């Protein structure tokens, strides 16, 4: 059985890797607190709405259709494993389920595109903070 060291600072107890826990029995309250903090962050940031969209049966059908019709990455030609929203949907259900807004894409291109969009959003927020006269 493979083991790992408890994630709690200074603890050296071993935890079975297949247990699904990162903390020993003594520190599992820390694990629950960490999960709660993460849940609160996602709720405050509005991410929970997006995760609900990804569980919609309509999305699963649309995603499967897109990958079937376009099995290769539209950026590099590798086998497509993911479907990317070309225009960020920001929780808008109609835009989320718009077939014309989807692109079949491989994992590495998807990571690159998502990172690029994240940087652009951050730069826009900083630009708006520097100049309050800029409107969306």
User: If we measure between CA atoms, which residue out of 25, 32, 27 comes closest to residue 10?
Assistant: 27
Domain ranges of the chain: 3-45, 62-130
pLDDT digits (tens, 9 = 90+) for 59-115: 999 999 999 999 999 999 999 999 999 998 877 889 999 999 999 999 999 999 989
The string of DSSP codes covering 53-120 is HHT-HHHHHHHHHHHHH--B-TTT-SBP-EEEESS--TT-HHHHT-GGGEEEE-HHHHHHHHHHHHHH
**Mean pLDDT value of segment 119-125:** 82
The confidence score (pLDDT) of residue 109 equals 94
């Amino acid at each position: 059985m493979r083991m790992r060291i408890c994630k709690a600072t200074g603890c050296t107890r071993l935890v079975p890797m297949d247990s699904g826990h990162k903390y020993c029995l003594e520190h599992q309250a820390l694990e629950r607190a960490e999960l709660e903090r993460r849940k609160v962050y996602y709720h405050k940031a509005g991410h929970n709405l997006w995760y609900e969209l990804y569980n919609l049966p309509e999305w699963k059908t649309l995603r499967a259709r897109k990958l079937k019709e376009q099995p290769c990455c539209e950026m590099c030609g590798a086998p497509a494993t993911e479907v990317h929203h070309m225009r960020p949907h920001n929780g808008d259900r109609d835009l989320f389920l718009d077939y014309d807004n989807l692109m079949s894409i491989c994992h590495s291109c998807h990571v690159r595109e998502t990172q690029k969009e994240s940087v652009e959003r951050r730069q826009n927020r900083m630009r708006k903070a520097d100049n309050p006269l800029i409107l969306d």
